[in-house]
Structure 1
Amino acid sequence: MKSFNKRELILKGNMKKTILLLSAPIMFNNFVQTIYNVVDTYWVSKLGASEVAAMTLIFPVVFLIISLGIGMNVAGTAMVSQYVGGNQWEEASKISGQLLSLSFIISILFSILGFVSVPYVVSFMGATGDVFTHSYDYLRVIYWDMPLVFIFFVYTAIKQGQGDTFTPMIINVGGVLLNIVLDPIFIFTLNLGIRGAAYATILSRGVFILYAIYTLFNKKSNIYLNKNRLVIKKDALLKIIKIGLPASVGQSVSAFGFIILNIFVISYGETTLAAFGIGNKVTSLVTMPALGIGSAIATIIGQNIGANQMDRVKEALKTSISMTCALLMVGGFIMFLSSYNIMRFFIHDPEVILQGAAYCRLISISLPFLGIFQVLVGTFQGSGRTIYAMFMDIGRLWLLRIPMIVLFKHYTDWGSNSVWYAMILSNIFICGLGYIMYSKGSWQGKAIHQEETCI
C-alpha cells in the first residue's frame, strides 16, 4: 500500500483495522527477531551456561550504546509522521536526511569508544572467570554492529512515519533469517564460539542494511534523500535533539538500570542469571503484540496530531490498550502453564530450569500491564512529547524496580524470586503513573508547526 493510501487509512479508516494493518508487520518482525534471539540463545546454550550468562550480562551494555539510536528513531517517527499528516512531504524528506547523517556519525564514535572500554565495562559488571572471558570476546566484536543498528533505526523511522511498517519488516526478516543460518556455521563449524554469534549478526545485518539505504535515494518515493539533504543543518539538528534527546536519555538511563539489575541478578549466582536470560527471551516472544501495537500507535498518533484530529488520537489509545491487554492475557496464561517445558527446551541444567520456570510463571501475571506501558510510551513518543516517555522508562527502573530489589534483598528471605516480584510490581505501578500523565492532557499538541521550514 503506497504512502498516500496509508495516510488516508490512518487519518480516516476504521481504528481496529488501522492498528492491525500497521502493527501486524511489526509484530511479525518482532516475532522473527525473537525467534532469532531464541535460536541464538539455543545455539549459545550448547556451549554452556557461562556463555548464556555472558550474553545476558552484557546485553544491557549494548542496549546502553544503541539508546541514542533509539532516540533518533523516536524523533524520526514523530517528526516524519507529523509532517506527513500535515501533507508536508518536502520537510519530511529533509529531516530524514539529517537523521541519517547524524546517526551514522554518532554510531561510529560510540563503536570506537565502546571497543576501547570493553575490559573496564565487563569488570564493572561483576563478571569473573569464564563469564568475564566470554563477555569480553562477544562485546569486542558486537560493538562494530552499532553503525548498522543506528542506520536501520533511521530507515525504520522514515518508513514507519509514512505508515509503511511492511518494508522495514522485509529488510529485517531477511537479515534475521540469514543470521539464523550463519549462527551454527560461525559458532561451531568455524569454531569461533560465542564470538561467532556476533560475527554472524554483523554480516547478516550489513547485507540488508546496504540495500535499505540504497532504496532511500529513489526519487520515485514520496520521501527520498540526496546529497544536499545529508549535509547537517543547525536548525534541523536542534529540532532532532529537542525531540530525540529525552527518548535517548530515557532509554540509556533505563539500559543502565538493567545493567544494575543484572549485577543484582548475578549476585544470586550464574545459574540465576542464565535462567533470567532464557526467561527474558521467552517473555519477549509473548509480548511481541504489545511491542508491535506500541510502535504502530506512535505513527497513528503522530499523523492524526499533524492533521489536528485529537478525538481520533484518543480513540487510537483506548483501542490499542484493549487489544493489547486481551492478547497478553492469553499469552500470559499459556506461558504460565508451559513454563517448565519451555525451559527444558533450552537447557538441561535442573537448577536453571527450576529458576527459569519460576520467573516465567511470576512475570506472566504482569504482562497486560507491560502492554499498557508500551501503548502509553508509544502515545507520548508519537506526540513528540518524549519527556513523558522518558519519565516512564526511567521511573519504572530507578524509582520503582531497583529500590524494590534492594529492599527485598535485604529485608526478605525470598532469594532470587525477589527480583521477579520487583519486576511485577514496577510494571503495575508505572502504568498508574503513566495514566495520570495522560489524563492531564499536557502531552497533546504538535511537535512541529505547519508553517515552519526546518531546513
Structure 2
Amino acid sequence: MDNKKIRLMSEAPVAEAIFKMSIPMVMGMMVQVFYNLVDTYFIGRLGDANQLAASNMALPIFMMLMAIAGIIGTGASSYISRCLGNKNYEEANRVTTIATGLLVILSIIVTIGGLLGTNGIVKMLGATELTFTYTKQYVSIMFMGSIAVMCNYAFGQLLRAEGDAMKAMIGMMIGTVANIILDPILIFVFDLGIVGAALATVLGNFLGLTYYIWSFAKGKTLLRIHPKQFGFDKEIYGEIFKIGVPASLNQMLMSFATIIANNIAIGYGELTVAGMGVAMKIMTIGTFVFMGFAAGCQPLVGFNYGAKNHSRVKEIIQKGIIITSIIGVCLATLFGIFASGLISVFTPDQEVVEIGTTILRALIFSLPFIGGQMVTTTSVQAMGKGIAALILSIARQGILYVPLLIILNKLAGFEGFIYAQPITDAIMLVFAFIIVFRVLAQEDAKQVIEVNQC
C-alpha cells in the first residue's frame, strides 16, 4: 500500500489534507459540470427553445443513472475506506471486485428496462407535444449508454476511496474533453441536434471508463480487481447496500423532485422550462464544487473512523463545513451580480434570458447552505451510519422540498415555486448539523466506555 497516501489521511494537518484530497476532486467535478454546460451551450446555440427545454426534461434520467450507480459506488467506497483504515487490504480488494460485478449487472438491467419503457418515462418527465420527440431521442440514447455512464461514475468513486483523487479527476477530464470536442461536431457538422448532444455525453463517459479500466488492469491502483473473488458475501453486500441505498436515495429523490419541478414549470410555459434548465445547470457549478469537497472529506472520515481516531474525524467535518460555507457565500455573490450575463451565454432568446435570470437569482440563496449538508451526509456515510445516512438522504428532497414546492407554488405562484429550494436548504442545514453532531456525541460516549473497560 502507498504509505504516502496513508500518511496524508492519518497524519497531515486536517485543512491541508482536506484541500489535497478535495482540490483534485473539485477540478474533476468542474470537468463534470462541463458535461452539462457544454450540452446546454451548444443546444442553446440551435436557437430552439423546445430542444433546450427537452434537454432539461431529460436531465433526471442522467441523475437517475448516477444514483443507481451510486448505490454500489458510494456503498463500496465507504466500506473500502474503513477497510484501508483497519489495514484490511485483502477485504478492500474483494469489495472492489464484488462492486464491479454488481455494477455490470445493474447497468444491463437498467439498459433493458429503460429502453422497453421509454415512452412512458418521457410522458412522466412532463414532455409536451412540442418537446416529446426531442426528449425521447435524448432519453433513449442515455439508456443505450447506461453501462458507460453508470460504470464511469462508480469507478471514480472507488478510486477516491483509496485516496487516488487524481486518477478519478483524470478520468472525468478525459470524458469531458471528448464531450466538448464531439458536441459541436455531432450537433452542427452532422446536423444531429439534441441527438448529437446525447451521443457526445455517452461517448465521453465511455472514454473516461476506458481510462479507469486501463488503470485497474495495468496495476496503476492500490485496489485490485480479481474476477475469481466475485460472488455472494453477506457482510460485503450488507455494507455496500447499508450505505449505498440511503446515499443514492438522495440522488433519486433529486431526480424525482426535478421531474415534479419540470411538470410545475411547464404550467408557466416551455420558455420557463428552458430558463429554469439553464439556471439549474449554472447552479451545478456550485453544487459540484461542494460535491468535490464532500468527496474529498469522505475517505478522510472513513479512514480515521476505521482507525478509531474520532477527534480527527470531528475536526475534518467541522473544517469541511466551514470551508464549503465560505465558498457558498462567495459563489452566491458572483452568480447574483452576473446572473443575466451567465444565462445569456447559453441562449440568445431574450425571454428565456429574463426568466432564467429571475430563477437563478432566487436559487443562489441555497449556495451557502448546500456544502455543509453534503459534508455531513458523506461523513455519516463514511462512518457506516446507515440510519443517519437514510434520514439525511430522504429529508432534503423527499420530506422538505417536494411538499414545500407544491405548497408554496399554490400559495405564492411563481415566486413560491422558485424560492422553495432555498427555503428547503436553510432548514436542511440546521437539521444536518443536529444529526451529525448527535452521531459524533454517540461515538465519543462509546470511546469513553471502551477506555474504561480497558
TM-score, scaled to structure 1: 0.93
Aligned residue number for residue 149 of structure 2: 149
Cα deviation, residue 407, structure 1: 1.8
> Which amino acid is the alignment partner of residue 14 of structure 1?
P
Measured in 2, the distance between the counterparts of 1:93 and 1:6 equals: 17
Relative to structure 2, which stretch is displaced further, 307-316 or 324-333? 324-333
Aligned residue number for residue 28 of structure 2: 29
Relative to structure 2, which stretch is displaced further, 261-270 or 47-56? 261-270
> Which amino acid is the alignment partner of residue 166 of structure 1?
M
Aligned residue number for residue 431 of structure 1: 429
Cα deviation, residue 443, structure 1: 8.8
Measured in 2, the distance between the counterparts of 1:392 and 1:335 equals: 27
Matches within 5 A, 1:50-199: 50-199=50-199
Cα deviation, residue 361, structure 1: 1.6
Check if 1:13 corresponds to 2:29. Answer: no
In structure 2, the CA distance between the partners of 1:442 and 1:312, relative to structure 1 (3 Å rule), is closer
In structure 2, the CA distance between the partners of 1:387 and 1:271, relative to structure 1 (3 Å rule), is farther
In structure 2, the CA distance between the partners of 1:4 and 1:121, relative to structure 1 (3 Å rule), is same
> Which amino acid is the alignment partner of residue 57 of structure 2?
L
Measured in 2, the distance between the counterparts of 1:332 and 1:389 equals: 27
Cα deviation, residue 234, structure 1: 4.5
Aligned residue number for residue 450 of structure 1: none
In structure 2, the CA distance between the partners of 1:444 and 1:137, relative to structure 1 (3 Å rule), is farther
**Partners of 1:85 and 1:304 within 8 A in 2:** yes
**Partners of 1:383 and 1:443 within 8 A in 2:** no
Cα deviation, residue 333, structure 1: 0.6
Relative to structure 2, which stretch is displaced further, 187-196 or 217-226? 217-226
Measured in 2, the distance between the counterparts of 1:239 and 1:373 equals: 23
Aligned residue number for residue 417 of structure 1: 415
**Partners of 2:73 and 2:157 within 8 A in 1:** yes
Cα deviation, residue 233, structure 1: 3.9
Relative to structure 2, which stretch is displaced further, 156-165 or 241-250? 241-250
Measured in 2, the distance between the counterparts of 1:243 and 1:402 equals: 23
What are the superposed Cα offsets for residues 222-245 of structure 1, whole Å, 9 maximum, x if unpaired?
A: 321122123444543333223322
Relative to structure 2, which stretch is displaced further, 255-264 or 224-233? 224-233
Aligned residue number for residue 391 of structure 2: 391
Measured in 2, the distance between the counterparts of 1:7 and 1:338 equals: 42
Aligned residue number for residue 327 of structure 1: 327
Q: Residue 21 of structure 1 aligns to a residue in which SS?
A: helix
Measured in 2, the distance between the counterparts of 1:345 and 1:154 equals: 31
> Which amino acid is the alignment partner of residue 20 of structure 2?
L
TM-score, scaled to structure 2: 0.93
Cα deviation, residue 347, structure 1: 1.3
Cα deviation, residue 154, structure 1: 3.2
Aligned residue number for residue 262 of structure 2: 262
Aligned residue number for residue 449 of structure 2: none
Matches within 5 A, 1:283-294: 283-294=283-294
Q: Residue 57 of structure 1 aligns to a residue in which SS?
A: helix
Measured in 1, the distance between the counterparts of 2:333 and 2:63 equals: 29
Aligned residues: 443
Cα deviation, residue 126, structure 1: 2.6
Q: Residue 294 of structure 2 aligns to a residue in which SS?
A: helix
Name the % identity: 27
Relative to structure 2, which stretch is displaced further, 136-145 or 121-130? 121-130
In structure 2, the CA distance between the partners of 1:168 and 1:219, relative to structure 1 (3 Å rule), is closer
> Which amino acid is the alignment partner of residue 46 of structure 1?
R
> Which amino acid is the alignment partner of residue 15 of structure 1?
V
Cα deviation, residue 219, structure 1: 4.6
Aligned residue number for residue 278 of structure 2: 278
Measured in 2, the distance between the counterparts of 1:258 and 1:312 equals: 37
Measured in 2, the distance between the counterparts of 1:261 and 1:335 equals: 22
Relative to structure 2, which stretch is displaced further, 113-122 or 201-210? 201-210
**Partners of 1:276 and 1:356 within 8 A in 2:** yes
Q: Residue 117 of structure 2 aligns to a residue in which SS?
A: helix
What value does the CA root-mean-square deviation take over the aligned residues?
1.9
What are the superposed Cα offsets for residues 94-115 of structure 1, whole Å, 9 maximum, x if unpaired?
A: 1100000001101110111011
**Partners of 2:61 and 2:142 within 8 A in 1:** no
Measured in 1, the distance between the counterparts of 2:317 and 2:290 equals: 13
**Partners of 2:246 and 2:393 within 8 A in 1:** no
Check if 1:353 corresponds to 2:353. Answer: yes
